[in-house]
Amino acid sequence: MQALPRSFYNRDTTIVARELLGKHLVRVTPEGRRVGRIVEVEAYLGPHDLAAHSSKGLTERTRIMFGPAGYAYVYLIYGVHHCLNVVTEPAGRGAAVLLRALEPVEGLTDRTNGPGLLSRAMGIDRNSNGHDLLSADLFIAEAGAREQIKIVARPRIGVEYARHWARRKLRFYERGNPFVSRT
């Protein structure tokens, strides 16, 4: 099981988001290995995207998001849940893809159909912020061949404050997959 190369992430964010569907997110801890198939994501395009954290500019919080591709950007939301993103595009762009839901593949017992649930089930919190996704304990890998994924594009969740950007169809999920978060 091989981590995707940095070049995979260092591309247009919308393309990366769509291609992440069907890939395997892998977490290795002393307790064992956990693997989930990515079935739902959202693209955050950069400072011009009013829904993206990077629209606030380069701050301590967004430092990782403005860094090079292939790193984990993890933050605490509503004081309760952690959200896992993968940084995309060259350093300075402030773009990332939020992982929103997984289909359990191995070692997963808790629910994974939502960004907070996904992070909790995979044992991911702020300690993983800035973690290189080309590492042995947290990475994304190609999955075994399946039938062609049918991708649905919809507006992103929870970004109504972002004016016209709230309507952009930057949420992508696999059509008919029961592990997609509810809406």
Partner DNA sequence: AGGATGATATCC
Partner DNA sequence: GATATCATCCTC
> Where do contacts with DNA occur on this chain (CB under 7 A)?
42, 44, 51-54, 56-57, 59-62, 65, 73, 75-81, 83, 85, 96, 98, 111, 114-118, 156-159, 161, 181
Nearer to DNA, 1 or 25 (CB): 25
Element (H, E) at 13: helix 13-20
131/140 Cα distance (integer angstroms): 13
**Least separation, in Å, of the C-beta of 1 and DNA?**
25
Q: Which is nearer to DNA, 1 or 77 (CB)?
A: 77
Q: How far is the CB of 68 from DNA (least distance, A)?
A: 16
Min CB(178)–DNA separation in Å: 15
- Decide whether 30 or 79 has the Cβ nearer to DNA: 79
Give yes or no for a contact between 130 and 72, defined as CB atoms under 8 angstroms apart: yes
80 vs 145, beta carbon nearer DNA: 80
Between 142 and 167, CB nearer to DNA: 167
Burial of 56 by CB count in 10 Å (0-12 exposed, 13-18 middle, 19+ buried)? exposed
Instruction: Quote the CA–CA distance of 43 and 156 in Å, as a whole number.
Output: 8
Distance in Å, CB of 111 to DNA, minimum: 6
Question: Minimal distance in Å, beta carbon 133 to DNA?
Answer: 15
Measured over the CA atoms of residue 88, residue 99, residue 53 and residue 161, the dihedral's sign is positive
Dihedral sign for Cα atoms in the order 113, 116, 121, 122? positive
Instruction: Give the residue carrying structure tokens 């017992």.
Output: 109
